[in-house]
């Protein structure tokens, strides 16, 4: 079963500079793919598929002089950004989700990047491609095989790592479907009456307690005030 653990990470100034560049590259890939898709539909009436039509363009862009800087960063993270755009459009066209039309990502606010190849969880650190181990506050034991690490930066400048692991255990079975329903009615004559006719007598706790209290009060009134029995 897959389990995610979110931990705080503390990159050095050099690592933070690289991560900020990584976040920028991921944001650029997402926004560029969205721009191309919108322009293709606006000018030619063609609806491009981000996963099939736009993701291959990343390899082409890296070979150009203008976008050669993308080679500095993790290719999987850039591809995942385009896949996220594909998912965003799927959610938008799903009437059950009521998702909004995908918009361009801003530099301000939360930033994130996904990594699934060459990731490791070390003693007090996490490792992602093209970067030395980053110090991390791992507050619980990470069990199982590490599948991916998603790094993020909050609007306040704090960095986190979401570690996704497969612990090898089977997922919990879903509760069975309820096929039989019993109606219950609570009344005065009986504590409970089920729809099948079965009745549960009223325990009448208050009446029994009142009777017990009355007996004890009578017994107390018969005893002499100040005696050892009172």
Q: Helix (H, G, I), strand (E, B), or coil: what is residue 193?
A: strand
pLDDT confidence of residue 188: 67
Whole-number Å distance between alpha carbons of 203 and 110: 59
> What pLDDT, on the 0 to 100 scale, is given for residue 230?
62
Residues 6 or more apart in contact with residue 184 via CB below 8 angstroms: 192, 193, 194, 195
Residue 109 confidence (pLDDT): 80
User: How confident is the model at residue 162, as a pLDDT?
Assistant: 94
CA angle, corner 86, sides to 28 and 21, nearest 5? 20
Region of 150 on the Ramachandran plot (φ > 0 left; ψ -120 to 50 alpha; else beta): beta
Q: What pLDDT does 183 receive? A: 75
How many residues are there in the chain? Answer: 230
Spans in the chain with pLDDT lower than 70: 188, 228-230
Q: What share of the chain is helix, strand, coil (3-state, %, to 5)?
A: 35, 20, 40
Residues β-bridged to residue 162: 6, 150
HSE-up of residue 13 (Cα within 13 Å, Cβ side): 0
């Amino acid at each position: 079963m897959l389990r995610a653990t979110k931990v705080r990470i503390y990159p050095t100034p050099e690592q933070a500079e690289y991560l900020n560049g990584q976040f920028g590259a991921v944001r650029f890939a997402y926004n560029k793919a969205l721009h191309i898709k919108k322009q293709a539909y606006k000018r030619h009436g063609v609806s491009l598929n981000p996963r099939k039509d736009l993701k291959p363009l990343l390899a082409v862009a890296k070979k150009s002089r203008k976008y050669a800087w993308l080679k500095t960063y993790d290719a999987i993270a850039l591809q995942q950004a385009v896949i996220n755009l594909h998912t965003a459009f799927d959610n938008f066209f799903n009437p059950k989700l009521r998702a909004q039309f995908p918009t361009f990502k801003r530099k301000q606010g939360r930033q994130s990047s996904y990594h699934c190849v060459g990731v490791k969880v070390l003693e007090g650190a996490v490792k992602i491609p093209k970067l030395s181990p980053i110090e991390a506050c791992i507050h619980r034991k990470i069990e199982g095989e590490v599948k991916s690490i998603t790094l993020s930066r909050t609007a306040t400048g704090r960095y986190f790592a979401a570690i996704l692991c497969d612990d090898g255990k089977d997922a919990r079975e879903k509760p069975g479907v309820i096929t039989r329903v019993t109606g219950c009615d609570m009344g005065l004559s009986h504590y409970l009456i089920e729809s099948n006719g079965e009745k549960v007598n009223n325990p009448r706790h208050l009446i029994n307690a009142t009777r017990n209290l009355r007996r004890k009060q009578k017994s107390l009134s018969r005893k002499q005030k100040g005696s050892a029995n009172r």
